[in-house]
Chain A
Amino acid sequence: MKFNHRHVLSMEQFSAADIHAVLDTAENFLELNSREIKKVPTLRGRAVINFFFEPSTRTRTSFEIAGKRLSADMLNLSGSSSSVVKGESLVDTALTLRSMNPDIVVVRHSHAGAPHLMARHVGAHVINAGDGQHQHPTQGLLDLMTVRQRFGQIEGLKVAIVGDILHSRVARSDLIGFQKCGAEVWLCGPPTLLPPEFARFGARMTYNLEEALTGAHVIILLRVQAERMNSAFFPTAREYSQRYGLNSEKLKWARKDAVVMHPGPMNRGVEIDPSVADGAHSLILRQVENGVSVRAALMMMLLGGGDRPRGDA
């Protein structure tokens, strides 16, 4: 399977076949995790820059581990998303990076489209590690991987994405990815956080959690940002939690074998009750583990390294 992508910017760019190819490659990496020596020389001598313009520990670390397991030279840079604070434009930043000749630049930025702009100027492969409220393709892929592992397939599953859809890049990536792989995607949240336009993308929409969860195989909960709680998207965190938070009782609306996922970090007690987060249905930690494999797979496929980690360190 040929991987015909120079950059990883959005789930929109992938076909279902692309997605399964990435997941197959990622599965090959899982075994590496259980080895005593968790390193292969596949990307030895290659330089990967992790450029995070907004704070992130989880995603940045995940990329870093992925790169290091492939023996790439990892460089972590952080900065402000604001050009005013930085004193240089994003294009200038890209040109500066370009002169360092990196092979891959991983970009996290609080503005939609920033990785696209970087991709036009940086002269390296760009992986979007989250751009504003637009896309988070590696999260989408790791969610797909986690679901495929559990159910053996994605096609035909009912997937409910619950919470702040409006502001969520994860929701946008998951919606596209799961639909491309043949799942039926339901979006659920309060009307202020679930714009009606999403119906045009083929998703089923409901403001009623029970309707979303009934018969669901997969429940993906989204984080409610603290700042949303204070800007009249809903009256109180308490009311949100009552209507849209998931607890063990409401989980019974879903299938018996339903799985619960969350991109993290969680607000325990708001969108997810601790009993669910830590319960038997939760795949939240599995998601984190799969994240490293998916990111390693993408780095390798972008650099034409084949579909399995070769050799020993």
Chain B
Amino acid sequence: MLLIENAHVVDPAGQLDGVRSIEVDRGRIRRVLKSPPPAQERAEYGEIINASGMHLFPGFLDLRTFAGEPGYEYKESFATVSRAAAAGGFTGVAVVPWVRPVTDSAPMVRDVLKLAAAHSVVEVYPIAGATLGLKGETMTEAADLRSAGAVALSDGGRPVQNTLLLRRILEYAKTWGLTVFLTPRDPDLSRGALVSEGEVSARLGMRGDPAASEEIAVARYIALAELTGARVHIEPISTAGAIRQLRQALKRELPVTAAVTAHHAVLSERDAEDFDTNARLNPPLRSPKDRDAMQKALSDGTIAAVVSDHSPQSSVEKQVSFEEAEPGSAGLETVFGAVMDLVHHKVIDLPAAAGLLCTGPARVLGIKPNMIAEGEKANLCLARINADWTVRAQDFASKGRNSVFEGRPMKGKILLTLCNGKVVWHGDS
């Protein structure tokens, strides 16, 4: 039995925000104590962690993790991605379907789960393709995918162009209780875009992605959510215009949720002006105004979740020109630091931060969130929210060495992560 003593527990689902001591036994939380057990009982514990001055959160859930397997083992694997997740405080990751072969059939979902069972140290939730091969042409067998273990459907980063097909996908997915993840982008407007359209694109001579591309797509998805009543999840969003529309949709209680990446929540295009391929992202970093709109939307609940958009790339894909570089940042290990940046700057408070990483993502998938309460699974992470560190991707547990935060100072670090009671990450404290 493990005792985590005198931790400041922040549990958004249980609305707990105070100092507690937690007993973990056989994978579960046995007791949550207001004060540490008396001295005579201490011999009962196999291990005691003095967590005073530290914060204990329910294990985080990521909605956008590229696991590399099957097909891209040179970029990432379940063994490495799950350790990266654990290092970031995540005890669950929803893995995206754009692997090779694409996760678009029940056997492929089972294959992903089998690989995860063999190699992952955290829980894995497969997201399946909404269309075969993510080509946007033929619906996948949603019911079969559901029974095989898929938690959601996704357009796979490639918007379904045929609106009638998309309507049918949403109607059908609704029957099986599957959330559908949709990418907010107009493929024609965004074709070949490398940076956000605006001052930076004009100055650098690189094709810009106009905010209108995202806004048009968001309008389309909201209209379809209203038409079908299906659960639509839009991610990753990056523009102030998308936020305006989301606010309207939520006011009208439409079944729409949205997520932002940790980097779009704290960085802007100003951080990507020196052709650093680590800042080649999809969508691109936006203007400071858009970034501020993300922060406002995080603080008022318009955005349900912060995601890693974990996209590890090998050096082959980043040591090229900006134009040729594969987009993405290996994000799992920097989400917490980025979100803590919002906390330290008083954009959101700690319970809200935990909500964006635990309850929000669970709500998007329609699954039960991790909680710090008696009898719950011991999915926990212990953090020192004031710990200073500098991002060095070469030290990542992920295979990815590409981080848009490379070299940046962060304040907030995960010290210990437990998944089903097992220590899956033990950082240096």
Chain A residues in contact with chain B, CB under 8 A? Answer: 81-84, 89-92, 109, 111-114, 116-117, 132-135, 167, 169, 172, 195, 197-198, 200-201
Q: How far is the CB of A94 from chain B (nearest CB, A)?
A: 9
CB contacts under 8 Å to A, within B277-314, are: none
A112 & B323 in contact (Cβ 8 Å cutoff): yes
Q: Which of A82, A113, A201 contacts B322 (CB 8 A)?
A: A113
Chain A neighbourhood of B320, CB < 8 A: 83, 89-91, 117
B316 within 8 A of A: yes
CA–CA, A197 and B207, complex, Å? 13
A89 & B319 in contact (Cβ 8 Å cutoff): yes
CA–CA, A67 and B13, complex, Å? 70
B201 & A197 in contact (Cβ 8 Å cutoff): yes
Chain A neighbourhood of B319, CB < 8 A: 89-92
B321 & A117 in contact (Cβ 8 Å cutoff): yes
CB contacts under 8 Å to A, within B301-356, are: 315-316, 319-324
Q: How far is the CB of B281 from chain A (nearest CB, A)?
A: 15
B49 within 8 A of A: no
Q: Which of B199, B204, B315 contacts A112 (CB 8 A)?
A: B204
Q: Which of A83, A134, A197 contacts B206 (CB 8 A)?
A: A134
Q: Which of A132, A195, A198 contacts B323 (CB 8 A)?
A: A132
Apart from A91-B315, A116-B274, A134-B204, what 7 extra A-B contacts exist at CB < 8 Å?
A: A83-B320, A90-B320, A112-B205, A134-B205, A172-B205, A197-B202, A201-B203
Chain A neighbourhood of B321, CB < 8 A: 81, 83, 90, 109, 111-114, 117
Chain B neighbourhood of A200, CB < 8 A: 199, 202
10 A-B pairs with least C-beta separation: A113-B275, A133-B205, A111-B321, A91-B319, A197-B202, A134-B205, A111-B323, A89-B319, A114-B321, A83-B320
Q: Which of A92, A117, A169, A201 contacts B275 (CB 8 A)?
A: A117
Chain B neighbourhood of A82, CB < 8 A: 324
B198 within 8 A of A: yes
With both beta carbons as reference points, the residue of chain A lying nearest to B195 in the complex is identified as A112
CA–CA, A112 and B199, complex, Å? 15
CA–CA, A91 and B203, complex, Å? 24
Q: How far is the CB of A134 from chain B (nearest CB, A)?
A: 4
CA–CA, A23 and B208, complex, Å? 34
Chain A neighbourhood of B322, CB < 8 A: 111-113
A112 & B203 in contact (Cβ 8 Å cutoff): no
Q: Which of B198, B199, B204 contacts A113 (CB 8 A)?
A: B204
Interface centre among A91, A111, A116 (most CB of B within 10 A): A111
Q: Which of A132, A134, A197, A201 contacts B198 (CB 8 A)?
A: A197
Q: How far is the CB of A43 from chain B (nearest CB, A)?
A: 29
B206 & A133 in contact (Cβ 8 Å cutoff): yes
Assuming the A-B contacts A92-B319, A112-B323, are A195 and B202 also in contact, with contact meaning beta carbons closer than 8 angstroms in the complex?
yes
Q: How far is the CB of B429 from chain A (nearest CB, A)?
A: 36
A111 & B204 in contact (Cβ 8 Å cutoff): no
Chain B neighbourhood of A83, CB < 8 A: 320-321, 324
Chain B neighbourhood of A84, CB < 8 A: 324
Q: How far is the CB of A286 from chain B (nearest CB, A)?
A: 26
Interface centre among A81, A89, A134 (most CB of B within 10 A): A89
CB contacts under 8 Å to A, within B72-99, are: none
CA–CA, A84 and B324, complex, Å? 9
Chain B neighbourhood of A92, CB < 8 A: 319
Chain A neighbourhood of B208, CB < 8 A: 195
CA–CA, A13 and B204, complex, Å? 14
Q: How far is the CB of A234 from chain B (nearest CB, A)?
A: 18
Q: How far is the CB of A225 from chain B (nearest CB, A)?
A: 14
CA–CA, A281 and B239, complex, Å? 48
CB contacts under 8 Å to A, within B119-168, are: none
Can you name 19 A-B residue pairings with CB atoms under 8 Å? A82-B324, A83-B320, A89-B319, A90-B319, A90-B321, A111-B322, A111-B323, A113-B321, A113-B322, A113-B323, A117-B321, A132-B205, A134-B204, A167-B205, A172-B205, A195-B208, A197-B197, A197-B201, A198-B202
CA–CA, A117 and B319, complex, Å? 9
Chain B neighbourhood of A134, CB < 8 A: 204-206
Q: How far is the CB of B322 from chain A (nearest CB, A)?
A: 5
With both beta carbons as reference points, the residue of chain B lying nearest to A168 in the complex is identified as B205
Q: How far is the CB of A18 from chain B (nearest CB, A)?
A: 19
Chain A neighbourhood of B206, CB < 8 A: 112, 132-134
Q: How far is the CB of B376 from chain A (nearest CB, A)?
A: 48
Chain A neighbourhood of B324, CB < 8 A: 82-84, 90, 111
Q: How far is the CB of B311 from chain A (nearest CB, A)?
A: 18
Q: How far is the CB of B220 from chain A (nearest CB, A)?
A: 23
Q: How far is the CB of A13 from chain B (nearest CB, A)?
A: 12
B203 & A172 in contact (Cβ 8 Å cutoff): yes
CA–CA, A89 and B208, complex, Å? 24
CA–CA, A241 and B115, complex, Å? 62
Interface centre among B199, B204, B316 (most CB of A within 10 A): B204
CB contacts under 8 Å to A, within B372-421, are: none
CA–CA, A30 and B199, complex, Å? 38
A116 & B275 in contact (Cβ 8 Å cutoff): yes
Q: How far is the CB of A136 from chain B (nearest CB, A)?
A: 10
B199 & A197 in contact (Cβ 8 Å cutoff): yes
CA–CA, A116 and B320, complex, Å? 11
Chain A neighbourhood of B315, CB < 8 A: 89, 91
Q: How far is the CB of B200 from chain A (nearest CB, A)?
A: 9
Chain B neighbourhood of A167, CB < 8 A: 205
Q: How far is the CB of A205 from chain B (nearest CB, A)?
A: 12
Q: How far is the CB of B315 from chain A (nearest CB, A)?
A: 8
Chain B neighbourhood of A91, CB < 8 A: 315, 319-320
Q: How far is the CB of B195 from chain A (nearest CB, A)?
A: 9
A112 & B275 in contact (Cβ 8 Å cutoff): yes
Q: How far is the CB of B91 from chain A (nearest CB, A)?
A: 36
Q: How far is the CB of A142 from chain B (nearest CB, A)?
A: 19
CA–CA, A112 and B203, complex, Å? 11
With both beta carbons as reference points, the residue of chain A lying nearest to B277 in the complex is identified as A117
CA–CA, A167 and B202, complex, Å? 9
